[in-house]
Chain A
Amino acid sequence: MTDGELDFDAEELAMLRQLFRSEARDALEAVTARVLAGGSAKPPAEALTEMMRVTHTLKGAAGTVGLPAMVDLSHRLETALVALGREPSPWIAATAERLLEVLDGLRGYVDHMAEGDVEARAQALRGQIDQLVRPTWRVESQPPASVEPLLEAEPDTVPEPKPWLRVEPQRIDDLLASAGELLFDRTRIERRVQLLRTLAREVAQTRQTLHDALPEDPDGSDRDDDGDHRDGDGDRRDGDRRDGDRRDGDRRDGDRERQALVAAEAALAGQATLLSQTTAALLDEVEALRRTIGELSHGLTRIRMEPARSLMAHAARTLRGLRRATGQAVELRTFGEAVEFDKAVAEQLGDPVTQLLRNAVAHGVEPAAERVAHGKPPGATITLRARQDGSSLVLEFSDDGRGIDTAALRKRLVATGRWNAPRAQLASDAEVMAALLETGVSSRKEADELAGRGVGLGLVRQTVARLGGEVTVSSQAGKGTTFVLRLPLSATLAQAVLFKVAGQVYALPSVYVTGTTTVGAAAATSIVGPDVLPVLRLEQLLGHGAPNDRRPAIVVSFAGKALVCTVDKIIGAREILIRPLGALLAPLTLYAGATISGSGKVQLILDPAQLVRRANLEAPPARLGGPGEGATALTLAGRALVVDDSRAIREAMTSMLGSEGWIVDVAEDGARALQMARQLRYDLVVTDLEMPVLGGFDLIARLRADERLGATPIVVITSRANPEHRRRARDLGVRALVAKPITRRKLLEALAAR
């Protein structure tokens, strides 16, 4: 073929042919599915029409990308299909089989168009296609003894052509990975909210304690006073002051103290109520978030759902290959092709299905003569059945062969030293058969029948276990063997780094792992690139190991903070299936979930957020000092008030401070900020300068003038950081002045400034 007459340059053409290959594979798969659906019977007219349509489209596409041999092959296939559709049809029982072989051949041709002797392969295929309608077949081939459709006829399964959206699978996988992380985030938020709820309860209790401890009210009138003022926060302060004036000189000191306590108790009551209301609202919002995230990941998983049809087609192809290789007469019957499940699960099931077919053909099914001697039809049948059971996919895989000889299996188990004689004697048949699935890698070298079975079946069990499913086997001597694979319908897969600590394997999501290093025996910090990072000794956190030697370590980065975690051994990156730890263990913050290894062991997934928190405990916490009041330095975690008229900046600051352990409230102008500062004591005020109603400098001046609020550390954020502003800020006792745009680094420096 020549590419000379085409309008494309070489690169474009390569790309177009790549596209053609993938389109052709889909088209051939679609035709294959239609043939399989009919069994060995002639497919219904509309299925044939659809097959012709697909083939015709393929012909057109092949022409466009300059593949004349493919145009010819598609044309011949289309012609053959037209002929097969005519009445009386030349379709015979063997046609389905031959057609499937042609489709397999075409698939191979498309995949290897650029290699070897293409022309010879095209020639062979042309012959095969033309043979499809040769009437001589009627003479040379007899229909098999039992001809049954492979699938119960489902007349309504021929879909209307719908517009399809082609999306690269990687994009969906990326989205799913993000959704997976959202799950981690949600868990963290839920834990915080739970903590907040506990805190709200405790505050209410504290208020009650305070209330009970108050001395008896001498005249009882003041309590009502307080009640009247409680709704207007600004008024209350004025009211208190008026009360104070009125009472001045009239009351004893003890009374004044009592008054202050009553006022404080009333304020506390208001705040406790507000806190529990806010927490309750937050709980509702978290619940809504949980629902949305659930719908989101469900929806995303649904995008990746695919019918069992392609898995069945894979099985049919594999069996044809095995049949050619062994000469065994085996037919595959499939049921439940429309059952949908996650593509991520489907992709993992190809090998187990191949393995089970191999096992059935090699060990399960008897030679034809033996079958006939036992009164069975000479051709064996393997049945593959898919069904949905709740949130599980059940794949049932049975053959009608000789079944598992449990007596022989017992002997082999003893002979290979895996079981001792009494155990083999006492074990039930079911246990003996289960042992077939448990064969470890160690028996790989044994070349006997059991090992041959065992290794393959062991791999089946491992794959299924890794997906969070299980395999069971049952058998009836002389009647056949059934393997049942029970799998989750969908899977949340994530990349993770696995490592060993104190004899157990743990996982960390790969997105949070930035590298590996080695850490010395007693080092408290480790230098990674330009950074000095804190070291968290996982052998101490997760075991009882002493930090007495050099250890491999993992560099973890989360929310802008990095640390180094020492481990016993780094195993490497793996794709893992994230599973929930269950309601009982959910409060244990160290874990973000778990996964199940190929050998069925539970492996815990660590939460990077917790590792970061714990690492920061060991390092001295950053401190916020105050000029002239060094003794009352505040630690970083506390309650902060962010004042800015830009919502974006408020959000950004909330996020930055929040990740530093601050509880953050926001106000959109100075007046509101002042009001809030008088209600709640803040450990830090971060304010803009230019704001409506009450500007930054005015706010600072008012705060400074207030006896109770005067000492509050203040950080100014501004886009106008000129010397005049700096001087004025310094005069007002502002700790630091940060020029916009604000970065995390600038903010942290400002907080650490003295």
Chain B
Amino acid sequence: MPELRNVIVFTIGAARYALELRWVREVVSLGFVTSVPTAPAALGGVCNLHGTIVPVLDVGALLDGVSGSAARQGDGALVVEAEAMVCALRVDQVDHVASLHETAGEMIDATGRPLRLLDPALLLRRAVELVAAQAERTERVERVERGS
């Protein structure tokens, strides 16, 4: 029995995604995006959101290792809260909000096209792993170069 979910439907590059509304805190237009050198590619930078520093994530890079276009000021973004963290997912276009049936992570929208249902907790965990791996790699390179 497929479950009915309230989702926001959006596009990044050629891919179409859905994300349950309960995770979405806000839909914003990004302010100045500060890039973070040494961070993994999935982290498009950081942004000031109402005085809080929020990381901007690249969904494509996180899920499939394929980086999309760089996050820039004025880009649309979904502010998502999960795993006790807040992040912004850069999007190209927010299409609409809908109630759709989910079957094992897959959804079909009103026009019959497939949508990928995102799990924000999974996205954030992956981001954490990527950053941690990157940080460790840097440390390791240093250790090796130091000859220990």
Chain A residues at the B interface, C-beta cutoff of 8 Å: 191, 195, 198, 465, 468-470, 486, 488, 502, 504, 541-543, 579-585, 587-591, 594, 596, 599-604, 613-614, 617, 621, 635-638, 661
Contact = CB atoms under 8 A, between A and B. Distances in A.
A246 B105 CA distance: 66
Nearest to B143: A637
Interface stretch (B12-20, B49-57, B96-104): B49-57
Given A584-B131, A635-B148, A661-B146, 13 more contacts: A582-B55, A582-B85, A585-B55, A588-B38, A588-B131, A589-B135, A589-B139, A600-B32, A601-B32, A637-B146, A637-B147, A637-B148, A638-B148
Interface in B95-148: 124, 127-128, 131-132, 134-136, 138-139, 142-143, 145-148
B147 to A, nearest CB: 4
A582 B85 CA distance: 8
Contacts of A580: 53
Contact of B37 (A195, A543, A661): A543
A534 to B, nearest CB: 14
B51 A583 contact: no
Nearest to B145: A617
A588 B135 contact: yes
A588 to B, nearest CB: 6
27 contacts: A465-B48, A468-B51, A502-B37, A579-B53, A581-B53, A582-B54, A583-B84, A584-B85, A584-B87, A584-B128, A585-B55, A587-B132, A587-B135, A587-B136, A588-B131, A594-B46, A601-B32, A602-B46, A602-B47, A603-B34, A617-B145, A621-B146, A635-B147, A635-B148, A637-B146, A638-B148, A661-B148
Contact of A589 (B54, B84, B138): B138
B35 interface: yes
B39 A588 contact: yes
User: Main SS of the interface on chain B?
Assistant: mixed
Given A579-B53, A584-B55, A617-B146, A600 B132 contact: no
A501 B37 CA distance: 11
Given A582-B53, A589-B135, A599 B32 contact: yes
Nearest to A600: B48
B36 interface: yes
A270 B36 CA distance: 41
A579 B52 CA distance: 8
B45 to A, nearest CB: 8
Given A600-B31, A638-B148, A470 B53 contact: no
Contacts of A465: 48, 51
Given A587-B135, A590-B38, A602 B55 contact: no
Contacts of A591: 36
Contacts of B86: 582
A335 B79 CA distance: 34
Contacts of A543: 37
A587 B85 CA distance: 14
Contacts of B54: 582
A208 to B, nearest CB: 20
Interface in B50-102: 50-51, 53-55, 84-87
A50 B119 CA distance: 63
Interface of B: 31-32, 34-39, 43, 46-48, 50-51, 53-55, 84-87, 124, 127-128, 131-132, 134-136, 138-139, 142-143, 145-148
Contacts, number: 105
A239 B87 CA distance: 59
Contact of B34 (A488, A583, A602): A602
A587 B53 contact: no
B127 A584 contact: yes
A472 B128 CA distance: 33
B84 to A, nearest CB: 7
Contacts of A599: 32
- In this complex, which of B85, B132, B145, B148 has the most chain A Cβ atoms within 10 angstroms of its Cβ? B148
Contacts of A468: 51
A585 B139 contact: no
A470 B132 CA distance: 32
A680 B38 CA distance: 35
B37 A590 contact: yes
Contacts of B84: 583
B47 A470 contact: no
Contacts of A638: 148
Contacts of B136: 195, 198, 587
A584 B89 CA distance: 14
B25 to A, nearest CB: 15
Nearest to A577: B51
A506 to B, nearest CB: 9
Nearest to A503: B35
Contacts of A601: 31-32, 34, 48
Contacts of A590: 37-38
B85 A583 contact: yes
B36 A588 contact: yes
Contacts of B135: 191, 587-589
A579 B51 CA distance: 9
A460 to B, nearest CB: 15
Contacts of A621: 146-147
Contacts of B147: 621, 635, 637
B38 to A, nearest CB: 5
Nearest to A594: B53
B14 to A, nearest CB: 27
A95 to B, nearest CB: 43
Contacts of B55: 582, 584-585
A542 B35 CA distance: 9
B51 to A, nearest CB: 4
Contacts of B53: 579-582, 594, 596, 602
Nearest to B84: A583
A589 B36 CA distance: 12
Contacts of A587: 131-132, 134-136
B46 A581 contact: yes
A35 B73 CA distance: 49
Contacts of B35: 504
Nearest to A587: B135
Contact of A596 (B48, B124, B128): B48
A13 to B, nearest CB: 48
